[in-house]
Amino acid sequence: MIYFLASIAAIAGFLFGFDEGVIAVARPLLDKDFPMTPLVGGFMTAAVPLGALIGASAAGRITDHFGRRRALMSAAALFTIGALIAAVMTATWILVAARLVLGLAIGTAAVTAPLYIAEAAPLAIRGALVSTYQLAITFGILASYLSGLAISGDGTWRAMFALGAVPGLLFLVGLIFLPESPRWLVLKGFLDRARASLHRLRGVGAPVDKELNEIALTAEAEKGEKVGYSALLEPTIRPALIVGMGLFFLQQLSGINAVIYYAPEIFRHAGFDSEKTQTLATVGVGTVNFLTTILAMYLIDKMGRRPLLVLGFVGTTATMLLIAFAVVNPAIVPAWVVILALMLYIASFAISLGPLPHVIMSEIFPLHVRGPGMSMASISNWGFNFVVVFAFPLMLASVGLAVTFTIFAVICAGGIMFTLRRVPETTGYSLEAIEAHLKSGRPFVALRRPMPATVPPGH
């Protein structure tokens, strides 16, 4: 059941990626039927991150009030409606409205889906299961790039948009068969329903009493504590807020969406003039992103979050610097090095900076502020996504690719320091144990991997 739940919740990730990527491939065809000024075109493109920002801001309250499952069901309905409106639209403003609706759905789901998976998952595979969400994002991006390769021709943009309604509907139907999060049920005082939900998730006959007790104890201890956004600023909770928002700031300012949205443009700057080469290299970016995320899922619960993060930041710093150097020294560095470095950059991102902020944000906030905490982290995700996607073309035109990539590299290098100084090791701990550490008042970063249980002498 837990695998079924993770797969259904991950459809939200697929739609996140699909709606990010589809505009890149639909845009040239769309322009033939609905020519847009750069300003209108820019606003239409940015309507998704903008809607997502609003959705993520509201999601904390919605998910805490109505429950994880119902919040996701409303997102699923919005995904389907938004895709259909975009497909049949007859004027540009309708498309803008449809993309805002899609953004709202993405924002709500981006907060709720990882939370729902983390709250339902057994401890040993929690990291891997939450990363299925990131895998689904990368699969959505790849699927949209491929749909651009497969269906081309006048008016086919309608089919590309309509395709998004299919996973939207599947998502809605799948959710009907899923149980509510046991942790949310405990929080609302429905202990019997929480037990039933755990039984369904862990399988018939599996012992659930210990887990249920632990959740109930934590919920009980939290009674009377401040809830809502202001509680996030309490001295004991603030370190989690800094880690959650900081990791998404770094994820976005690593430059990932400059690459995801503008890959063909970057290849052109690096001297590849053929459109065919640009498109194929872009599909290559999507493929490396997807495949490396699978490797990340395997490593996350084994290597631990902190070493993987450091590895990712070192990799993205080095490859960004290499590309910057190659672009200003074309006589010394052959052009294929740029393609190779960009693929290595994507691999470094996907093994670490891609999945880990989503995983960690679902683990670090105490139960009573988990909704608002994850909302704030997602606001950081979408806010900085919006900033980078808007600023990148302007930066390219003013200071050029090399300077822009050097700035990204400097920020990635800052990510190494941030990880070492702020990010705790959550691998191997239950959500309740992470919470207990946070509230103990000891530095959050002092949480390190638990020692494997040692056998006492004489046994």
Kindly list the residues in this chain that would bind ligand BGC in the complex (CB under 6 A).
20, 134, 137-138, 141, 251, 256-257, 260, 289, 354, 381, 385
* CA–CA gap between residue 274 and residue 179 (Å, rounded): 51
Q: Quick one: 67 or 246, whose CB is closer to ligand BGC?
A: 246
Task: List C-alpha distances in Å: 280 to 156, 274, 284.
Answer: 20, 10, 6
Q: Determine which helix (DSSP H) or strand (DSSP E) holds 194, and give its type and residue range.
A: helix 191-202
Q: How far is the CB of 426 from ligand BGC (least distance, A)?
A: 18
Q: How far is the CB of 129 from ligand BGC (least distance, A)?
A: 16
Q: How far is the CB of 10 from ligand BGC (least distance, A)?
A: 13
Q: Quick one: 184 or 365, whose CB is closer to ligand BGC?
A: 365
Are 236 and 438 contacting, i.e. CB atoms less than 8 angstroms apart? yes
Query: What is the b/e burial string over 242-276, where b = at least 16 CB atoms within 10 angstroms of the residue's CB?
Result: ebbbbbbbbbbbbbbbbbbbbbbbbbebbebeeee
Q: Quick one: 141 or 243, whose CB is closer to ligand BGC?
A: 141
In three-state form (DSSP H/G/I as H, E/B as E, the rest C), the secondary structure along 256-319 is HHHHHHHHHHHHHHCCCCCHHHHHHHHHHHHHHHHHHHHHHHHHHHHHCHHHHHHHHHHHHHHH
Q: Quick one: 254 or 317, whose CB is closer to ligand BGC?
A: 254
Q: Calculate ∠ Cα 40-148-90, nearest 5°.
A: 40
Q: How far is the CB of 252 from ligand BGC (least distance, A)?
A: 6
Q: Quick one: 197 or 319, whose CB is closer to ligand BGC?
A: 319
Q: How far is the CB of 350 from ligand BGC (least distance, A)?
A: 6
Q: How far is the CB of 133 from ligand BGC (least distance, A)?
A: 9
Tokens encoding 254:
């690593």
Q: Quick one: 22 or 141, whose CB is closer to ligand BGC?
A: 141
Q: Quick one: 112 or 381, whose CB is closer to ligand BGC?
A: 381
* Closest residue by Cα to residue 243 from 121, 347, 358: 358
Are 326 and 338 contacting, i.e. CB atoms less than 8 angstroms apart? yes
DSSP letter (8 states) at residue 147: H
Q: How far is the CB of 137 from ligand BGC (least distance, A)?
A: 5
Structure-token match 């009573």, residue found: 368
Q: Quick one: 215 or 300, whose CB is closer to ligand BGC?
A: 300
Tokens encoding 327:
């672009």
Q: How far is the CB of 337 from ligand BGC (least distance, A)?
A: 23
Q: Report the residue count for the chain.
A: 459
